[in-house]
Amino acid sequence: MSNNLKFYIDGAWVDPAEPATIDVVDPSTEEVFATIARGGAADVDRAVAAARAAFPAFAATSREERLVLMRRLLEAYKDRYDEVADALSREMGAPRTLAQRSQAAMGTAHLARTIEALEGFAFEELRGSTLIAKEPIGVVGMITPWNWPINQIMCKVAPALAAGCTMVLKPSEIAPLNAILFAEAVHAAGLPKGVFNLVNGDGPTVGEAIARHPGVDMVSFTGSTRAGILVAKAAADTVKRVHQELGGKSANIILDDADLKRAVKLGVEGCMRNSGQSCNAPTRMFVPAALHGEAVAVAKATAERLTVGAPASEGTWLGPVVSQAQYDKIQRLIAAGIEEGAELVTGGPGRPDGLDRGYYVRPTIFANVTDGMTVAREEIFGPVLVILPYGSEEEAIERANDTPYGLASYVQSGSLERARKVAARMRSGNVYINYPAWDAGAPFGGYKQSGNGREYADFGLEEFLEIKGVVGYAPA
């Protein structure tokens, strides 16, 4: 039986305080295919009360007890894996292969890596006669986005469990079904009641209620920088910890000694993957001015090989973007690029040929882009790449860092030593050299307006802990 019209509070599926609903739209058809309950402040109050009541006992559990629970959760999640992948493909338009191999797989990877981190984590350290203890911060409010839904849920839930925290989760109302399936896995795993609570709803209502709530000790938010500012302001009155992973406009510097064809091809694919809806996507490609024409030709050929189509269709590389609002924003920014004089290489306004329904966007590339153009400054969050020619390595670094964001940077070079030197100067939380394999153990988070705090493995676990100094704990 579906739990779409219920919330998971205090270990049970319960009705909302007041009946209200939100439609869930399939972005490939623009049709409503599911309905979920819409929560309010009263539902948040109930969930927070359950989490607060559960906290003392759960905070007192041993590492071994939490490891048992987390391993059971991992198995329960694996049991629902295919259902999660199907939900992700339907509610956010992810191509079936992406949903199965990447989107749903992130949940398994992060939970497994957090279990590994917990196994060897040092919660106590003696410095002279002083004990340094790391203790769970308390009740955590979690607000997660629609673009990598189960990834961000697990990046918050797993370390919170490892730390001994209790929690209230509000997933995105645009892609909520994977979260309901996850809550069912939590229940199947037998987590103590009140440890994990789920309330669906929108940001201005449920999200703000969580951020403002005096019973919430920490709020962990992933989403746009604009929304992150609102969360921080709402949280300020209660001086709770605010952990944020926000927007990005990541630079991809291709140096003159790189394998240009490979660097450009993989850079285009990295930007376009997930229909461009990744906060750390390499959306600003800096290429040597002398190689600009060649780079543009490779980028054009690469983008035009990427198949846009229905998520369930075999061979689809890009599905739709997630919503009408997202589609409209991307169209507005593509129009701005054209109006401001960027060279439209491929793509452009409107849907791809043959797709008259669904929020499909043409894979779009602009060349000869200058730093002041809107498409070079704003996070587009769609399959749109801008190519910026540069004169010197020094110029490329300076311009790449000239952004309010600082989530990720990319550096391509035939010399690892040279790439390392450039990486050391990038003002971003991550730097990826020569398109490495994804690492679930690398700290993830941003500088500047891309947020504060880190996620993944032990770095994520640290965020959910308070530090206590017990002076005189040991004989001097």
Side-chain-side CA neighbours of 407 within 13 Å: the count stands at 24
CATH number at residue 282: 3.40.309.10
Model pLDDT, residue 1: 58
Whether 294 is a known active-site residue: answer no
DSSP string of 404-460, one letter each residue: S--SEEEEE-S-HHHHHHHHTT--SSEEEESSPPP-TTS-B--SGGGEES-BSHHHH
CA–CA distance, 309 with 227 (Å, rounded to integer): 30
Task: Specify whether 242 is located in the same domain as 187.
Answer: yes
Instruction: Say how far apart CA 13 and CA 33 lie, in whole Å.
Output: 22
DSSP 77-98: HHHTHHHHHHHHHHHH---HHH
3-state helix, strand, coil in the chain (%, to 5): 40, 20, 35
Sign of the four-CA dihedral 374, 380, 382, 385? positive
Instruction: Judge if 237 and 259 occupy the same domain.
Output: no
239 and 270 fall within a common domain: no
Give the pLDDT score at 430: 98
Backbone angles phi, psi at 220, to 5 degrees: -115, 120
**Dist CA 276 CA 256 (whole Å):** 26
pLDDT, tens digit, for every residue of 227-271? Answer: 999 999 999 999 999 999 999 999 999 999 999 999 999 999 999
Answer yes or no: do 23 and 91 share one domain.
yes
Cα–Cα distance, 192 to 77 (Å, whole number): 17
Structural domains of the chain, count: 2
Q: Are 303 and 296 in contact (CB under 8 A)?
A: no
Has residue 445 been placed in a domain? no
Catalytic residue among 184, 245, 379, 455: 245
Q: For residues 112 and 260, state if they share a domain.
A: no
Note whether 112 and 152 are same-domain residues: yes
Is 279 known to be catalytic? yes
Whether residue 283 is contained in a domain is answered as: yes
**Cα separation of 19 and 38, whole Å?**
8
Which pLDDT does position 317 carry in this prediction?
97
| Residue 346 maps to a domain | yes
Q: What is the CATH number of the domain that holds 182?
A: 3.40.605.10
d(CA 368, CA 223): 30
Cα 118 from Cα 153, distance rounded (Å): 18
Instruction: Provide the pLDDT for residue 2.
Output: 87
Say yes or no: 420 and 460 in one domain. Answer: no
Residue 20 lies in a domain: yes
Residue 422: closest CA among 254, 245, 294, 219: 254
Domain that holds residue 37: 7-246+450-470
Measured N-to-C along each axis, helices 104-119 and 63-79 cross at an angle, to the nearest 10 degrees, of 160
Residue 70 CA to residue 76 CA, distance in Å, equals: 10
Decide if 476 is inside a domain: no
The four Cα atoms 64, 69, 71, 76 give a dihedral, to 10 degrees, of 170
Give yes or no: residues 260 and 237 share one domain: no
pTM equals 0.97
Does 145 lie in the same domain as 16?
yes
Find residue 9's DSSP bridge partners. 12
Residue 301 lies in a domain: yes
How far apart, in whole angstroms, are the C-alpha atoms of residue 25 and residue 86?
A: 14
DSSP bridge partners of 13: 8
Using alpha carbons, list the distances in angstroms from residue 240 to 157, 215, 233, 466. 18, 10, 11, 12
Do 130 and 275 lie in one domain? The reply is: no
Q: Do 147 and 275 meet the contact criterion of CB atoms below 8 Å apart?
A: no
Choose, from 165, 279, 393, 463, the residue flagged as catalytic.
Answer: 279
Residues 455 and 422 placed together within one structural domain of the fold: no
Which residues of the chain, if any, have pLDDT below 70?
A: 1
Summarised one tens digit per residue, pLDDT across range 400-426 is 999 999 999 999 999 999 999 999 999
